[in-house]
């Protein structure tokens, strides 16, 4: 097994493993059919900790908060010392509860969401608290002040953002500097071999500003495994029910990328999922891709991908079939 490496999250002093375990997969089947219930999920936390993964990402919206509960209990039982793990969660979408202030990035919503997440996680503080999307209906200063107050109150250690336009993120950074608000240290963005639009503005911005990049869906929701069908769906439960992936990744050019990925994987003697992840890891701007796994062999594949070094020729071959996309994943 490849020895886990640890890197700083952007310019912060926080050190995280090169892979982050995404936990949207763990929660309640009432939320999504392909989600694993708690007892099914626990072996993945055990395996992650054994492999040296110290970085775990969840959100209040995942399974309506059940994912946070599972994360909290698993890490309390298995991690040993709280200070040995980095727990990240998010606010914006809420848990599905009704009410006009139950979601978004107002001060009221952020404060209530943080307290609720802390309770579900069973923690005194959150290591990385992220805004899940950009809120056009709330002044940026209000959002930043609320997040800064959470840090100063000791409820949050660092703050991060996710999936927005480069100009929006730059404005947040500028306002933080102007008013003395706490600064974002990370960007969780949509980035993989079939969606590379982040390379235009967001990735260069993060490199210039010292922001850690922790991409979500680095394997394109399983599309890059090479088992999706052009007529729709695939062989797994998630592939058969994931309408979002079908709306995002099923263009002819996407299948051309997936086919090329399969070709390179065969050449290297590894799986297509591994070459897709290795390609993301090879980007020097990327800190730690967020991987979601529902089968233990998938976990072994992800860990082994850390040891795959793609040649310049292989990277060029993987990238050649790509065609521009409309923006995917923002609001």
**Candidates 62, 158, 191, 195; catalytic one:** 62
> Looking at the domain assignment, is residue 7 inside a domain?
no
DSSP label at residue 199:
G
- The pLDDT assigned to 245 comes to 58
What pLDDT score was predicted for residue 244?
Answer: 64
Residues ≥6 apart with Cβ < 8 Å to 35: 24, 25, 26, 27, 28, 29, 63
Question: What total number of domains does the chain contain?
Answer: 1
Q: C-alpha angle with apex 49: 78 to 24, nearest 5 degrees?
A: 90
Residue 1 included in any domain: no
Q: How confident is the model at residue 218 (pLDDT cuts 50, 70, 90)?
A: very high
Q: Is 62 an annotated catalytic residue?
A: yes
Position 2 in a domain: no
Residues spanned by the domain of 24:
15-319
In three-state form (DSSP H/G/I as H, E/B as E, the rest C), the secondary structure along 75-140 is HHHHCCCHHHCEEEEEECCCCCCCCCCCCCCCHHHHHHHHHHHHHHHCCCCEEEEEECCCCCCCCH
CATH number of the domain within which 118 lies: 3.20.20.100
pTM of whole model > 0.75? yes
Residue 3 lies in a domain: no
Is 115 inside any structural domain?
Answer: yes
Whether 328 maps to a domain, the answer reads: no
Residue 236 has pLDDT above 80, yes or no: no
d(CA 113, CA 272): 38
Q: Is residue 69 part of a domain?
A: yes
pLDDT at 1: 65
Q: Is residue 32 part of a domain?
A: yes
| Percent of the chain scoring above 90 in pLDDT | 90
């Amino acid at each position: 097994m490849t020895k886990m490496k640890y890197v700083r999250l952007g310019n912060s002093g926080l050190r995280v493993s090169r892979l982050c375990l995404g936990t949207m997969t763990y929660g309640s089947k009432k939320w999504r059919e392909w989600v694993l219930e708690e007892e099914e999920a626990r072996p993945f936390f055990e395996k992650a900790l054994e492999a040296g993964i110290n970085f775990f990402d969840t959100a209040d919206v995942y399974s309506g908060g059940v994912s946070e509960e599972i994360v909290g209990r698993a890490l309390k039982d298995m991690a040993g010392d709280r200070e040995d793990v980095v727990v990240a969660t998010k606010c914006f979408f809420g848990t599905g509860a009704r009410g006009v202030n139950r979601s978004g990035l107002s001060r009221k919503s952020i404060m209530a969401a943080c307290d609720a997440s802390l309770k579900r996680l069973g923690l005194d503080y959150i290591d990385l608290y992220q805004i899940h999307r950009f809120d056009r209906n709330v002044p940026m200063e209000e959002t930043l002040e609320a997040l800064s107050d959470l840090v100063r109150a000791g409820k949050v250690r660092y703050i991060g953002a996710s999936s927005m336009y480069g100009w929006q993120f730059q404005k947040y950074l500028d306002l933080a500097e102007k008013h003395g608000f706490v600064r974002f240290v990370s960007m969780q963005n949509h980035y993989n071999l079939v969606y590379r639009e982040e390379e235009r503005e967001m990735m260069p911005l993060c490199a210039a500003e010292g922001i850690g990049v922790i991409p979500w869906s680095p394997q394109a929701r399983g599309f890059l495994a090479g088992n999706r069908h052009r007529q729709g769906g695939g062989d797994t439960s998630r592939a058969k029910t994931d309408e979002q992936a079908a709306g995002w990744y099923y263009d002819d050019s996407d299948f051309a990328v997936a086919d090329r990925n399969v070709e390179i994987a065969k050449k290297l003697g590894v799986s297509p999922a591994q070459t897709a992840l290795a390609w993301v890891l090879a980007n020097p701007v990327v800190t730690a891709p967020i991987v979601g796994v529902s089968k233990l062999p998938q976990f072994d594949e992800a860990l082994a991908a850390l040891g795959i070094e793609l040649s310049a020729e292989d990277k060029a071959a993987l990238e050649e079939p790509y065609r521009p996309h409309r923006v995917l994943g923002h609001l």
